[in-house]
Structure 1
Amino acid sequence: MSACEIELAGERVLLLAQKALYWPRERLLAVADIHFGKAASFRALGVPVPAGTTAENLAALDALLAAHDVAHIVFLGDFLHARAAHAAATVRAMLAWRARHPAPRLTLVRGNHDLRAGDPSALLAMRVVDEPYTIAPFSFCHHPDLPAPGHVLAGHVHPAYRLASGRDSVRLPCFLSGAARTILPSFGAFTGGHGVRPEAGERVYVVAGDAVLFVGKLAAGT
């Protein structure tokens, strides 16, 4: 899969087609809105949704760790969707993944779903913090509009952008990046997307299959 290299706050970062961000200087991978346990929560309510999303999410993390030199993974909130994510089978799968990857530091910046679901198992050896969590020049957050000392990297919105050509259109997950913040697409396999309209000066990078493509920058005053 290809990546799109951009500069944020004077730092070189990669926007990855797997819907994550990699900061090479710190060997840091940022992942937003993985929502472990969301499908299980729906099934518990009698909604017929596919199983296997936990395994799919963990396999996607496996692929990222195989492709990049990662020393630190920062989850930008909503790691767990609800208390159903504490089910024994889900926890076993997470612990098996952690056993395969014991070296990287894990940090979770609590999101709104994490506050309801509770912190992940202590056996994951994951540091859990409140937003903003700052490693200059970036502030890692869940909510993109939170006041923070650095350039905000956040999730929460699950941004998607509609590309249109004549009568045809498609909505794709996207990175939305401006002077003060960059919003990552949701990483989880069962999370959906929310259509966004860029603000003045914001750049849109859509995830299209195996590529991240620059769509454009909204001019001030438009």
Structure 2
Amino acid sequence: MKKQIVQFATPVTLVGGGALGVDDLETALALAPDLIAADGGAGPALAAGYMPEAVIGDFDSLRRADRDRIPPDRLFPIREQDSTDFDKAIRSISAPLVLAVGFLGARVDHQLAAFNVLVRYPERPCVLLGAREVVFHAPPALALDLTPGAIVSLFPMRAVTGRSQGLEWPIDGVDLAPDRRVGTSNRALGEVRIETDGPGLLVIVPRDALEGVMRVLAPGAFPPAPASGPAPARA
């Protein structure tokens, strides 16, 4: 069992040192207000005016000037070099869900390493927020309301099978594997339901589905969504 350094009862935002959109932090913090930084991710957080509640990593990319601004009791160095800072952070955070920004859109090797972590810690729900998409590991059963026509890509990080409803091209009877069949650029017909027979499947959906994805992955951490129906009449 990996040691958990910080514990939260609600979803948290994790910021990395990769590509960060102009409104990524604000978007994430509106849904997950507690902020954790993975090593050098503390820099952009501080630059945007946010003080991380914890900084986790080997600190090889944390600038001295940034480190000096952070209270010592919020610094949690993990010196081993056998894992990425994203890995160190994910295994050290106890929370219903981690919303991670600054891990997509920069170096490809870093993105691949982040995907690897999503698959290796399926018991720790995490959503990667990118410029146009969000990426997460599929739970055993998933039901997600999407706009008809929305792109849904399913990328297997290991051999996996499953079933689906609400996709233009169902995955029933399809053997998905990184070196064989993948599910790029499928389309939603509306509500999408996916069941998998084991871990290893990454789901990539449009960024505007972020809040819905978070509610599905951590249903107990959010108040119920407003009921749909006609707006109340004005008095």
When normalised by structure 2's length, the TM-score is: 0.35
More strand by share: 1
Using CA pairs under 8 Å that are at least 6 residues apart, name the structure with larger relative contact order, 1 or 2: 1
Structure of greater Rg: 2
